[in-house]
Structure 1
Amino acid sequence: MCRFIGIEDLVANALIELLEKGACRRVSFETLVKYGTVVMSVLRENGSEAVILISKEHTNELIRNYSDFFEIDQSELNNDAIVLKAEKTVDDLRNRFRAFLTIDSLLAFTDTKSLAELGVAV
C-alpha cells in the first residue's frame, strides 16, 4: 500500500520537533525535502511505501488551507522557509496535525534518522 503524506503533516511534525528541542519556529524548504526523504525511507524499511506531496502547488495549498498556522518567510536569500505563526503553540500543532496520524507515520516522523535531518538531538 502506498500512502501520501501531505506537506502540512511534514511541516507540522518538523516544527513540533524543532520547537521542543530548540524553540525554532521556522523550517526551510531544503530541510523539509531532506526530512521528508528520510521519513519515506523509514516507512519503506517498515514495509510501507510513501510519497511526500511537497510541490509548489501543495505549498500554496498549505498556506491557503492553514493560513491560521503557517506563513512563508522569503527574507533569506535562496532559503525560503515555512514559519509557524506567533500565536500558535506546539500543543496547537499536536492537536491539529498529530491527533489522527497512524502510529507508523508518527514513528517515522520521530525516528532518530528523521530527527537527525532536522538537526535536533534525540
Structure 2
Amino acid sequence: MVARRRIDIAEGSAALAAWRGGERGRAVTAMAVRYALEEVAARAPGNSVEVRVPPYGVTQCIPGPRHTRGTPPNVVECDAGTWLELVTGTLDWADAVERGLVAASGLRADLSAELPL
C-alpha cells in the first residue's frame, strides 16, 4: 500500500529547499519535516519502523512485521533540525546515532539505507 500524501510534493520540496537555504521559521521547518517523513514512507513503504520528529510528525516505514499496539519494537526519534540534516545529507546517520542526536531502538531502526533522500 502506498503512503497517502497530505503535502503537495512541490510545496514540500520548496520547504525543504528553503530550510536547506537557511530559513528556519516554524512553518518552513514543519512543512519540510512532514514532507520528508512522507517521502521516507513513500520510498520505503511498510509498518515495521516508527519515525518520530516531535512536535511535527510521525510516520511508519520499512517493510517487515506490522506493529499495531503499544510501544513499537523499532523506533527512531530525533528533533527537527537533526532530521532535516539527515534528510539533506549534511549529517551522516552513523555520526548522528554515535553523538546521541538520534534515538534508534530495534533491529530495523537503522535508516542509513534510506537517508539522505
Answer 1 or 2: which has greater helix percent: 1
TM-score (structure 2 length as normaliser): 0.31
TM-score (structure 1 length as normaliser): 0.30
